[in-house]
Amino acid sequence: MLKVFEDFDITLVGHYQSILEAEGIATFMKNQFGTSGAGELPFIEVIPQLWVLNEADAGRAEGLIRDLRHPGGPDLLQAWDCPACGTSHEAAFTQCWNCSTLRPDPPGEKN
Ligand SMILES: [Zn+2]
């Protein structure tokens, strides 16, 4: 399995899941009920995550989600490195947890 999307908005994750399923991509949602334990679990553990069961579908799934989020725009789903301290972050983070630097604007289209 490969994770293709995560967001604290479970409605959004569920929406993308239904779209991927409609495209014939088998998916699995993790942390679907995680928010109920948000007070006890580490922050990262309760982000609803969308996974694809077949890694062969991951590229297509990521492309679909990217188009949904930012039609023709820059890819904000990429993991990023803090420009100030170099810490690596998952795409869901908009601010460096280490030094509080905000995520820089993405460099534009990849590939
Ligand atoms: Zn930093």
pLDDT single digits (tens) 27-80: 999 887 655 455 555 555 578 899 999 999 999 999 999 888 876 555 556 788
CA distances from 77 to 23, 33, 41 (A): 20, 23, 24
10 Cα: distance to centroid of ligand 1 (angstroms) = 27
- 54 Cα: distance to centroid of ligand 1 (angstroms): 34
- As a dihedral over the C-alpha atoms of residue 105, residue 106, residue 109, residue 110, rounded to 10 degrees, the angle is 170
pTM: 0.54
The CA 105 to ligand 1 mean position distance, Å, reads: 15
Which among 57, 8, 59, 14 is positioned nearest to 34, based on CA atoms?
A: 8
Residue 16 Cα to ligand 1 midpoint, Å, equals 30
